[in-house]
């Protein structure tokens, strides 16, 4: 089946989204044109607006349309505590717990020398500027517990220590409500290593 030139371009354009192949792209394009042109219009409008206006907070690099985000601007947050995460979605996850009082620094992913992603690419320059302001007393490393996330955490830990700032890593272990026999060996081993005094 051959589509008109504009339809072809639209289907192709949907494929910029992660995980969207030719079939899903077709389905999305047809859905909007056949069933929800109004929704498509809204999507197009908001995409244009967001791409023009959404930038990064100059302190933590969360995506937002103001120079400084609402978290960094909140006077009630503990400015001595800085949590390092690998992406904006991780800030949202921690915020949802409602239990973290400090501020954040969002990296552009993790270190990956093989893919040419070194300290500069993930934003370490800006991080060093951030911890050099003397307000940060503790850095909490909340990068993923993957090999790359751990390597990134080690790298940053060294850096933070060289500035004489306390550095901590979020604990990994047995999930709440988890039964030991269903937990993978790696997680259980780490939980045993990181045991705490009760």
Task: List interacting residues with Zn ion (CB under 5 A).
Answer: 57, 59-60, 62, 69, 72
| Order of strands across the sheet that contains 102-106 | 102-106, 78-85, 138-141, 166-169
CB of 91 to Zn ion, least distance (A): 9
Handedness of CA 164, 74, 125, 142 (dihedral sign): positive
CB of 108 to Zn ion, least distance (A): 15
Q: Please say which residue, 10 or 57, places its beta carbon nearer to Zn ion.
A: 57
CB of 59 to Zn ion, least distance (A): 5
Query: In angstroms, how far is CA 20 from the centroid of its own chain?
Result: 21
Q: Please say which residue, 57 or 111, places its beta carbon nearer to Zn ion.
A: 57
CA angle 107, 110, 116 (to 5 degrees): 115
Q: Please say which residue, 69 or 153, places its beta carbon nearer to Zn ion.
A: 69
**191 C-beta neighbours (distance < 10 Å), count:** 17
Q: What share of the chain is helix, strand, coil (3-state, %, to 5)?
A: 50, 15, 40
Q: Please say which residue, 32 or 136, places its beta carbon nearer to Zn ion.
A: 136
CB of 49 to Zn ion, least distance (A): 21
């Amino acid at each position: 089946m051959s589509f008109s030139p504009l339809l072809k371009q639209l289907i192709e354009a949907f494929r910029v989204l992660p995980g969207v192949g030719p079939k899903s792209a077709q389905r999305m394009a047809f859905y909007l044109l056949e069933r929800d042109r109004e929704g498509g219009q809204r999507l197009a409008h908001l995409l244009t607006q967001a791409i023009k206006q959404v930038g990064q907070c100059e302190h933590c690099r969360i995506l937002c349309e103001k120079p400084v985000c609402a978290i960094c601007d909140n006077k009630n947050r503990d400015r001595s505590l800085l949590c390092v995460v690998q992406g904006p979605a991780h800030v949202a996850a921690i915020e949802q717990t409602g239990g973290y009082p400090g501020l954040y620094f969002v990296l552009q992913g993790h270190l990956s020398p093989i893919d040419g992603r070194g300290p500069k690419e993930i934003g370490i320059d800006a991080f060093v500027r951030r911890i050099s302001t003397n307000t940060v007393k503790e850095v909490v490393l909340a990068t993923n517990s993957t090999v790359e996330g751990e390597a990134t955490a080690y790298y940053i830990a060294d850096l933070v220590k060289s500035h004489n700032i306390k550095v901590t890593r979020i604990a990994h272990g047995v999930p709440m409500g988890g039964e030991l026999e269903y937990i993978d060996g790696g997680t259980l081993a780490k939980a045993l290593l990181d045991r705490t005094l009760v």
